[in-house]
Amino acid sequence: MIIDLQNKKILVTGGAGFLGGRVVDALVARGVPRENISVPRSSELDIRKWENCEAAVRGQDIIIHLAAVVGGIGANREHPGSFFYENLMMGVQLVEAARLVGVKKFVALGTVCAYPKFTPIPFKEDDLWVGYPEETNAPYGLAKKMLLVQAQAYRQEYNFDAIYLLPVNLYGPGDNFDPKSSHVIPALIKKVYDAKIAHAPFIEAWGTGSASREFLYVDDAAEGIVLATERYDKPEPVNIGSGMEISIKDLTELICRLMDYHGEIRWDATKPDGQPRRSLDVSRAEKEFGFKAKTDFETGLKKTIDWYVVDRKN
Protein backbone atom coordinates (compact mmCIF):
# COMPACT_ATOMS: atom_id res chain seq x y z
CA MET A 1 0.00 0.00 0.00
CA ILE A 2 1.36 3.43 -0.97
CA ILE A 3 1.24 6.02 1.81
CA ASP A 4 -0.03 9.45 0.76
CA LEU A 5 2.46 11.74 2.48
CA GLN A 6 0.66 15.00 1.74
CA ASN A 7 -1.51 15.07 4.87
CA LYS A 8 1.05 13.51 7.23
CA LYS A 9 3.04 15.13 10.03
CA ILE A 10 6.65 14.10 9.39
CA LEU A 11 9.67 14.40 11.67
CA VAL A 12 13.03 14.41 9.87
CA THR A 13 15.90 14.12 12.35
CA GLY A 14 19.05 15.55 10.79
CA GLY A 15 16.73 17.44 8.45
CA ALA A 16 18.96 20.51 8.42
CA GLY A 17 21.99 18.47 7.31
CA PHE A 18 23.55 17.51 4.00
CA LEU A 19 21.17 14.64 3.24
CA GLY A 20 18.29 15.81 5.44
CA GLY A 21 17.84 19.08 3.58
CA ARG A 22 17.43 17.13 0.33
CA VAL A 23 14.92 14.77 1.94
CA VAL A 24 12.87 17.75 3.15
CA ASP A 25 12.96 19.21 -0.39
CA ALA A 26 11.85 15.86 -1.85
CA LEU A 27 8.94 15.71 0.60
CA VAL A 28 7.87 19.24 -0.31
CA ALA A 29 8.08 18.28 -4.00
CA ARG A 30 5.62 15.46 -3.16
CA GLY A 31 3.15 18.05 -1.91
CA VAL A 32 3.88 17.85 1.82
CA PRO A 33 3.36 21.35 3.28
CA ARG A 34 6.61 22.59 4.80
CA GLU A 35 4.79 23.37 8.05
CA ASN A 36 3.97 19.64 8.35
CA ILE A 37 7.68 18.76 8.41
CA SER A 38 9.49 19.04 11.76
CA VAL A 39 13.26 19.51 11.63
CA PRO A 40 14.67 19.61 15.18
CA ARG A 41 18.12 21.18 15.46
CA SER A 42 20.55 19.24 17.62
CA SER A 43 21.48 22.48 19.43
CA GLU A 44 17.81 22.88 20.47
CA LEU A 45 16.77 19.23 20.93
CA ASP A 46 19.44 16.70 21.89
CA ILE A 47 17.86 13.34 20.99
CA ARG A 48 20.53 11.42 22.89
CA LYS A 49 18.28 12.23 25.89
CA TRP A 50 15.08 10.25 26.43
CA GLU A 51 12.84 13.18 27.34
CA ASN A 52 13.83 14.97 24.11
CA CYS A 53 12.95 11.88 22.05
CA GLU A 54 9.52 11.87 23.74
CA ALA A 55 9.04 15.54 22.85
CA ALA A 56 10.26 15.09 19.27
CA VAL A 57 7.85 12.28 18.31
CA ARG A 58 4.72 13.75 19.88
CA GLY A 59 2.02 14.43 17.28
CA GLN A 60 4.02 12.92 14.39
CA ASP A 61 2.73 10.35 11.88
CA ILE A 62 6.07 9.43 10.29
CA ILE A 63 9.67 9.58 11.54
CA ILE A 64 12.58 9.66 9.09
CA HIS A 65 15.67 9.21 11.26
CA LEU A 66 18.72 10.62 9.47
CA ALA A 67 20.55 12.20 12.40
CA ALA A 68 23.95 10.61 13.04
CA VAL A 69 27.40 11.37 14.36
CA VAL A 70 29.57 10.61 11.33
CA GLY A 71 33.04 11.05 9.89
CA GLY A 72 35.73 9.54 7.72
CA ILE A 73 38.32 6.94 8.70
CA GLY A 74 40.31 9.41 10.84
CA ALA A 75 37.30 10.57 12.87
CA ASN A 76 36.13 6.96 13.39
CA ARG A 77 39.59 5.99 14.69
CA GLU A 78 39.71 8.93 17.08
CA HIS A 79 36.17 8.68 18.47
CA PRO A 80 35.00 5.03 18.39
CA GLY A 81 33.37 5.27 21.82
CA SER A 82 31.38 8.42 21.24
CA PHE A 83 30.40 7.34 17.71
CA PHE A 84 29.03 4.09 19.15
CA TYR A 85 27.23 5.57 22.14
CA GLU A 86 25.69 8.63 20.51
CA ASN A 87 24.42 6.85 17.40
CA LEU A 88 23.04 3.95 19.44
CA MET A 89 21.25 6.12 22.00
CA MET A 90 19.69 8.42 19.41
CA GLY A 91 18.28 5.56 17.38
CA VAL A 92 17.16 3.11 20.06
CA GLN A 93 15.40 5.74 22.17
CA LEU A 94 13.73 7.42 19.21
CA VAL A 95 12.25 4.13 17.94
CA GLU A 96 10.92 3.29 21.40
CA ALA A 97 9.45 6.77 21.88
CA ALA A 98 7.80 6.56 18.44
CA ARG A 99 6.27 3.17 19.26
CA LEU A 100 4.87 4.37 22.57
CA VAL A 101 2.98 7.29 20.98
CA GLY A 102 1.68 5.25 18.04
CA VAL A 103 3.74 6.70 15.18
CA LYS A 104 2.52 5.10 11.94
CA LYS A 105 5.91 4.57 10.27
CA PHE A 106 9.59 4.76 11.23
CA VAL A 107 12.27 4.99 8.54
CA ALA A 108 15.69 4.13 9.99
CA LEU A 109 18.81 4.96 8.03
CA GLY A 110 21.66 2.53 8.51
CA THR A 111 25.09 2.64 6.90
CA VAL A 112 27.19 0.66 4.45
CA CYS A 113 29.73 0.46 7.33
CA ALA A 114 27.43 -2.15 8.91
CA TYR A 115 28.52 -4.73 6.33
CA PRO A 116 31.22 -7.27 7.20
CA LYS A 117 34.76 -6.34 6.19
CA PHE A 118 35.07 -9.05 3.53
CA THR A 119 31.51 -9.10 2.17
CA PRO A 120 31.39 -10.63 -1.34
CA ILE A 121 30.91 -8.10 -4.14
CA PRO A 122 28.27 -6.88 -4.77
CA PHE A 123 27.03 -6.54 -1.17
CA LYS A 124 23.68 -8.30 -0.86
CA GLU A 125 21.42 -7.44 2.07
CA ASP A 126 21.37 -11.13 3.07
CA ASP A 127 25.15 -10.97 3.70
CA LEU A 128 24.81 -8.36 6.44
CA TRP A 129 25.50 -10.86 9.24
CA VAL A 130 28.27 -13.02 7.71
CA GLY A 131 31.13 -11.35 9.59
CA TYR A 132 32.44 -8.41 11.62
CA PRO A 133 32.60 -4.91 10.06
CA GLU A 134 35.88 -3.26 9.06
CA GLU A 135 37.65 -2.38 12.31
CA THR A 136 38.13 1.37 11.80
CA ASN A 137 34.38 2.04 11.63
CA ALA A 138 32.93 -1.06 13.33
CA PRO A 139 31.62 0.78 16.45
CA TYR A 140 29.67 3.23 14.27
CA GLY A 141 28.51 0.51 11.88
CA LEU A 142 27.33 -1.77 14.68
CA ALA A 143 25.51 1.03 16.51
CA LYS A 144 23.54 1.77 13.34
CA LYS A 145 23.03 -1.96 12.69
CA MET A 146 21.21 -2.29 16.00
CA LEU A 147 18.42 -0.19 14.47
CA LEU A 148 17.78 -3.08 12.08
CA VAL A 149 17.56 -5.55 14.97
CA GLN A 150 15.21 -3.20 16.81
CA ALA A 151 13.05 -2.52 13.73
CA GLN A 152 12.60 -6.23 13.07
CA ALA A 153 11.95 -7.06 16.76
CA TYR A 154 9.37 -4.27 17.09
CA ARG A 155 7.64 -5.34 13.89
CA GLN A 156 7.43 -8.91 15.24
CA GLU A 157 6.23 -8.04 18.76
CA TYR A 158 4.30 -4.80 18.30
CA ASN A 159 3.44 -4.84 14.56
CA PHE A 160 5.38 -1.56 14.36
CA ASP A 161 6.01 -0.40 10.79
CA ALA A 162 9.75 0.26 10.91
CA ILE A 163 11.95 -0.09 7.82
CA TYR A 164 15.74 -0.05 7.52
CA LEU A 165 17.71 1.42 4.60
CA LEU A 166 21.43 0.99 3.90
CA PRO A 167 22.81 3.94 1.93
CA VAL A 168 26.24 3.78 0.37
CA ASN A 169 28.75 6.69 0.58
CA LEU A 170 27.01 9.93 -0.41
CA TYR A 171 28.46 12.99 -2.14
CA GLY A 172 27.26 16.23 -3.67
CA PRO A 173 27.12 20.03 -3.28
CA GLY A 174 26.92 21.10 0.36
CA ASP A 175 28.92 18.13 1.66
CA ASN A 176 31.14 18.39 4.73
CA PHE A 177 34.61 19.58 3.65
CA ASP A 178 36.15 19.81 7.13
CA PRO A 179 39.37 17.72 6.90
CA LYS A 180 38.91 16.49 10.51
CA SER A 181 35.60 14.75 9.75
CA SER A 182 34.98 14.70 5.98
CA HIS A 183 34.58 11.60 3.83
CA VAL A 184 36.83 10.73 0.90
CA ILE A 185 35.34 12.81 -1.96
CA PRO A 186 35.18 16.18 -0.15
CA ALA A 187 38.55 15.47 1.50
CA LEU A 188 40.19 14.91 -1.90
CA ILE A 189 38.49 17.90 -3.53
CA LYS A 190 39.78 20.15 -0.73
CA LYS A 191 43.29 18.71 -0.98
CA VAL A 192 43.45 19.25 -4.73
CA TYR A 193 41.95 22.75 -4.48
CA ASP A 194 44.45 23.77 -1.77
CA ALA A 195 47.35 22.30 -3.79
CA LYS A 196 46.31 24.26 -6.88
CA ILE A 197 46.05 27.53 -4.96
CA ALA A 198 49.48 26.94 -3.37
CA HIS A 199 51.02 25.67 -6.67
CA ALA A 200 52.10 22.60 -4.71
CA PRO A 201 53.90 19.92 -6.76
CA PHE A 202 52.08 17.01 -5.09
CA ILE A 203 49.17 15.98 -2.88
CA GLU A 204 49.31 13.29 -0.23
CA ALA A 205 46.48 10.74 -0.14
CA TRP A 206 45.68 8.19 2.55
CA GLY A 207 46.38 4.48 2.08
CA THR A 208 47.47 2.70 -1.08
CA GLY A 209 44.62 3.70 -3.40
CA SER A 210 43.69 0.06 -3.95
CA ALA A 211 40.44 0.09 -1.95
CA SER A 212 37.23 0.64 -3.89
CA ARG A 213 34.05 2.52 -3.08
CA GLU A 214 30.59 3.09 -4.47
CA PHE A 215 29.11 6.58 -4.39
CA LEU A 216 25.56 7.90 -4.59
CA TYR A 217 24.63 11.48 -5.43
CA VAL A 218 22.83 13.02 -2.46
CA ASP A 219 19.69 14.04 -4.40
CA ASP A 220 19.31 10.46 -5.63
CA ALA A 221 19.65 9.19 -2.04
CA ALA A 222 16.90 11.57 -0.89
CA GLU A 223 14.59 10.31 -3.64
CA GLY A 224 15.28 6.70 -2.61
CA ILE A 225 14.45 7.44 1.03
CA VAL A 226 11.16 9.16 0.16
CA LEU A 227 10.15 6.36 -2.23
CA ALA A 228 10.81 3.80 0.53
CA THR A 229 8.80 5.90 3.00
CA GLU A 230 5.86 5.87 0.59
CA ARG A 231 6.06 2.32 -0.74
CA TYR A 232 8.07 -0.09 1.44
CA ASP A 233 6.73 -2.02 4.43
CA LYS A 234 8.80 -5.17 5.02
CA PRO A 235 11.29 -6.31 7.67
CA GLU A 236 14.20 -6.93 5.26
CA PRO A 237 16.88 -4.20 4.98
CA VAL A 238 17.31 -2.46 1.61
CA ASN A 239 20.48 -1.13 -0.03
CA ILE A 240 20.29 2.40 -1.43
CA GLY A 241 23.10 2.87 -3.94
CA SER A 242 24.12 3.45 -7.53
CA GLY A 243 25.63 0.04 -8.31
CA MET A 244 28.95 1.54 -9.50
CA GLU A 245 32.45 0.86 -8.11
CA ILE A 246 35.66 2.87 -8.40
CA SER A 247 39.09 2.46 -6.80
CA ILE A 248 40.34 5.29 -4.59
CA LYS A 249 43.33 5.60 -6.96
CA ASP A 250 41.04 6.09 -9.98
CA LEU A 251 38.82 8.45 -7.99
CA THR A 252 41.80 10.60 -6.99
CA GLU A 253 43.05 10.76 -10.57
CA LEU A 254 39.56 11.65 -11.81
CA ILE A 255 39.24 14.51 -9.32
CA CYS A 256 42.70 15.79 -10.33
CA ARG A 257 41.66 15.69 -14.00
CA LEU A 258 38.33 17.43 -13.42
CA MET A 259 40.08 20.13 -11.36
CA ASP A 260 42.91 20.46 -13.89
CA TYR A 261 45.60 19.62 -11.33
CA HIS A 262 48.76 18.05 -12.78
CA GLY A 263 50.83 17.47 -9.65
CA GLU A 264 51.98 14.12 -8.28
CA ILE A 265 49.78 11.92 -6.08
CA ARG A 266 51.79 10.48 -3.18
CA TRP A 267 50.19 7.60 -1.30
CA ASP A 268 50.75 7.34 2.46
CA ALA A 269 50.59 3.59 3.03
CA THR A 270 51.00 4.07 6.80
CA LYS A 271 47.37 5.26 6.79
CA PRO A 272 44.56 2.68 6.57
CA ASP A 273 42.66 1.89 3.38
CA GLY A 274 39.51 0.96 5.31
CA GLN A 275 37.23 -1.73 3.91
CA PRO A 276 38.91 -3.35 0.85
CA ARG A 277 35.91 -3.04 -1.51
CA ARG A 278 32.41 -1.57 -1.44
CA SER A 279 29.79 -2.09 -4.10
CA LEU A 280 26.11 -2.79 -3.48
CA ASP A 281 23.56 -5.05 -5.09
CA VAL A 282 20.82 -2.46 -5.64
CA SER A 283 18.20 -4.75 -7.20
CA ARG A 284 15.97 -5.00 -4.10
CA ALA A 285 15.32 -1.23 -4.00
CA GLU A 286 14.30 -1.21 -7.66
CA LYS A 287 12.09 -4.28 -7.26
CA GLU A 288 10.40 -3.20 -4.01
CA PHE A 289 9.83 0.52 -4.54
CA GLY A 290 11.12 1.46 -7.98
CA PHE A 291 14.31 3.27 -6.95
CA LYS A 292 17.18 3.60 -9.40
CA ALA A 293 19.96 6.19 -9.18
CA LYS A 294 19.84 8.74 -12.00
CA THR A 295 22.98 10.87 -11.66
CA ASP A 296 26.05 9.87 -13.65
CA PHE A 297 29.09 9.81 -11.34
CA GLU A 298 31.31 12.19 -13.31
CA THR A 299 28.40 14.64 -13.72
CA GLY A 300 27.70 14.58 -9.99
CA LEU A 301 31.39 14.97 -9.20
CA LYS A 302 31.64 18.04 -11.47
CA LYS A 303 28.64 19.62 -9.72
CA THR A 304 30.24 18.97 -6.32
CA ILE A 305 33.59 20.45 -7.38
CA ASP A 306 31.93 23.50 -8.96
CA TRP A 307 29.91 24.12 -5.79
CA TYR A 308 33.02 23.91 -3.61
CA VAL A 309 35.09 26.23 -5.84
CA VAL A 310 32.30 28.84 -5.96
CA ASP A 311 31.75 28.54 -2.20
CA ARG A 312 35.48 29.14 -1.54
CA LYS A 313 35.47 32.22 -3.76
CA ASN A 314 32.48 33.63 -1.90
Give catalytic residue positions: 140
Nearest to 278 by CA among 147, 115, 100: 115
Do residues 184 and 272 touch, judged by C-beta distance below 8 A?
Answer: no
Do residues 80 and 142 touch, judged by C-beta distance below 8 A?
Answer: no
Do residues 23 and 222 touch, judged by C-beta distance below 8 A?
Answer: yes
- What's the CA gap between 239 and 257, in Å, rounded? 30
Do residues 226 and 30 touch, judged by C-beta distance below 8 A?
Answer: yes
Residues 6+ apart with CB under 8 A from 131: 116, 117, 118, 119
Do residues 213 and 187 touch, judged by C-beta distance below 8 A?
Answer: no
**Helix or strand holding residue 171 (H, E):** strand 169-171
Do residues 87 and 110 touch, judged by C-beta distance below 8 A?
Answer: no
- What's the CA gap between 312 and 308, in Å, rounded? 6
- What's the CA gap between 193 and 189, in Å, rounded? 6
Do residues 127 and 119 touch, judged by C-beta distance below 8 A?
Answer: yes
- What's the CA gap between 96 and 54, in Å, rounded? 9
- What's the CA gap between 189 and 280, in Å, rounded? 24
The full DSSP string for 193-242 is HHHHHHT-SEEEEES-S--EE-EEEHHHHHHHHHHHHHH---SS-EEE--
